[in-house]
Chain A
Amino acid sequence: MISIPTAVDVAALKDTTLLNMAIFGLFVAVTMVIVLRASRNNKTAADYYAAGRSFTGSQNGTAIAGDYLSAASFLGITGAIAINGYDGFMYSIGFLVAWLVALLLVAELLRNTGKFTMADVLSFRLKQRPVRIAAAISTLAVCFFYLLAQMAGAGSLISLLLGISDWGGQALVIIVVGALMIMYVLIGGMKGTTWVQIIKAILLIAGAAVMTLWVLAIYGFNLSTLLGAAVETANNPAVLNPGLQYGKTETSKLDFMSLGLALVLGTAALPHVLMRFYTVPTAKEARKSVVWSIWLIGLFYLFTLVLGYGAAALVGAETIKAAPGGVNSAAPLLAFHLGGPLLLGFISAVAFATILAVVAGLTITAAASFAHDIYASVIAKGKADADTEVKVARRTVVVIGVMAILGGIFANGQNVAFLVALAFAVAASANLPTIIYSLFWRRFTTQGAVWSMYGGLASAIILIALSPVVSGAKTSMIPTANFAIFPLSNPGLVSIPLAFLLGWLGTVLDKKREDVSKQAEMEVRSLTGVGAEKAVDH
């Protein structure tokens, strides 16, 4: 083990395992009681998928922040700043600015036109069957990659936080996390899930705030002194400058552009974020939710700047890289350095809660999409009653949960950032062009939607499969093979413009015209909120 004067004794972390488990157990118990109480009147589909549209803007905004600030944000960005300095901070900026796309172009219009899922909006004025199926497939694909990332993240976190390093032990923890998540979603539906998100968001932001103030206090509340200390520990002034991670070659510079594009355009097309806009009664509350979440998420990302450089200064990049869990361990190690086992226990529990809550949000989105878009609208052709639809949704939750557990076990140890970036790139490529076109372009047709969604989805996934992330490099998923003919690890730079182009091309080449009255209805509804401005009563 490397010994640095200021460094944390990583071996001592194991002594805190019991404490971590106790705090985590307490969180599970408290949230389970709340979920049980919240679920007492989960009767209709609107209750189950959209929490009866009974949440206020500020509650939903907090829940959106809870959904969005996943383990990748908290552990990933703090770690990225601690190791790569300034380049890590650029993730925070992309993740935050992306919310303006959601606020200005998507949130309210979508709230006014849909009911439960993204496909409701996309198929509003186009042909139901093909568009709904395409939207459901891309929803399931995005949710699945996002789920894999979270479950794989859970596996690698455990090695540090609970001191479980063997494969079987980690698999067991993934099964436990997955089973808990299935229970939350089955019992609580959207309402229970939303409450879990709210509690988790408050804990996460409060925990990060305490650590941020603590770090700042050490350096006399002077950011410049903190940055100076980070340079000193790293023994490299370049940690304050851009380019440490992405500035190496021309290809890596393009890769950064590609990532930046996927991040800023992906957020407003993430199905689990879009679905949250349906849990509020009006478009005005949907707007208020986004405003709340922008403030909370922005505040949190400012904290990550201090936490990342704080970890770089107080713990040191070498110690972080050597710790079990690697880059992801920066935030927990900083907590241990600052507040000893108790703060580490709290932060670890929050990290677990984060994974649990995000996984629950993704699962209910995927289940709703399958039950509402594929089962009720396509298989049963609109003849299924609401009870049957919810029953199908609940069964889907179990199937998706089991798939996520298995996928998480096999993806364990693999590059988590890759899966998250893929989810963003797929969302931006497959969903965003169709969302924008169908809301703002009168001429847009079914053929354009189908070309754009399948083209965006397929190009994003194929380019990733042919990228260095999958093969041809030491850090690849399959390091022994080399079929990486696409040089960038993020496909966004190619697949997003391609999807926009296909949507346009499919439309102008389409000889059929769409229903003019449906277009009128969608435009009037989306801008005025007519017929959508009332909560579902119980």
Chain B
Amino acid sequence: MGTDARTPDVAASADFEEVQTTEQFKELRKRHRSFVFPMAIAFLAWYFAYVLLADYAVGFMSTKVWGNINVGLIMGLLQFVTTFAITGWYVSYCNRRLDPIAAEIRHGIEGHEFDKTGAGMSGSAVGGAAK
């Protein structure tokens, strides 16, 4: 790795393979993947559906809905809405389902290896997470 580590790494001597096999970590990984993968597939599908419609269904997209506002414009603006909504949804999911368990595992590793500094680190990490 690089020549100048960011901080003396309190986790350097942790047994990551052991952590990886714990139920708690498997749960974290499952929660993370079961949110981001379906969500990524969904928004990419919606985006490409939109691109394909704009590309090959010009007549449909040009249908006037209200005044000069047509289907294409509404669907374009809906892309903005879904992007903002997924962003908000992801943040709230992280706060509820991912951050607490990630912090627990982190404290476990750091506290276990280095009782003194580990406690200090955990304190600051909790402070950061609570902000």
Contacts and interface: CB of A to CB of B under 8 A. Distances in A.
B35 to A, nearest CB: 8
Contacts of B47: 93-94, 97, 260, 264
B4 A294 contact: no
B68 A531 contact: no
A100 interface: yes
A532 B6 contact: yes
Given A96-B80, A253-B55, A242 B61 contact: yes
B3 A533 contact: no
Interface string A280-301: 0110110100110011001001
Interface in B30-66: 32-33, 36, 39-40, 43-44, 47-48, 50-52, 54-56, 58, 61-62, 66
B39 A531 contact: no
A298 B86 CA distance: 13
A372 interface: yes
A253 B56 contact: yes
Contacts of A120: 1-2
Contact of B11 (A517, A523, A531): A531
B29 A90 contact: no
Contacts of A383: 3
Nearest to A99: B83
A175 to B, nearest CB: 34
B17 A520 contact: yes
Contact of B9 (A225, A294, A531): A531
Chain B, interface size: which category?
35 or more
Interface stretch (A32-40, A384-392, A403-411): A384-392
Contact of A528 (B10, B73, B102): B102
A424 interface: no
Interface string B1-20: 11111110111101011011
Given A372-B2, A530-B110, A93 B76 contact: yes
B84 A301 contact: no
A90 B54 contact: yes
Given A240-B73, A241-B58, A242-B62, A284 B99 contact: yes
Nearest to A264: B47
Interface string B77-114: 00110011011001100100001001101100110000
A342 interface: no
Contacts of A377: 2
B54 to A, nearest CB: 4
A536 B62 contact: no
B40 A104 contact: yes
A517 B19 CA distance: 11
Given A517-B16, A530-B11, A242 B40 contact: no
Nearest to B79: A93
A84 to B, nearest CB: 12
B105 A100 contact: no
Contacts of A517: 16-17
B62 A534 contact: no
B119 interface: no
A527 B129 contact: no
A243 interface: yes
Contact of A105 (B7, B40, B55): B40
A284 B32 CA distance: 14
Contacts of A228: 67-68
Chain A CB within 10 A, most for which of B28, B80, B121, B131: B80
Contacts of B28: 527-528
A534 B124 contact: yes
A256 B53 CA distance: 12
Contacts of A389: 3-4
A376 B2 CA distance: 7
Given A240-B62, A529-B102, A534-B7, A93 B87 contact: no
A382 B56 contact: no
Nearest to A295: B84
A505 interface: no
Contacts of A287: 91, 94
Contacts of A521: 16
Given A115-B1, A527-B32, A534-B7, A301 B80 contact: yes
Shortest 6 CB-CB distances between A and B: which pairs? A224-B67, A531-B11, A227-B68, A241-B62, A242-B54, A521-B16
6 contacts: A89-B73, A93-B76, A120-B2, A240-B62, A241-B72, A291-B91
Given A96-B83, A104-B90, 17 more contacts: A46-B4, A86-B76, A103-B87, A115-B1, A116-B2, A242-B55, A256-B55, A302-B80, A385-B3, A440-B33, A520-B17, A521-B16, A523-B16, A523-B29, A530-B109, A533-B125, A534-B121
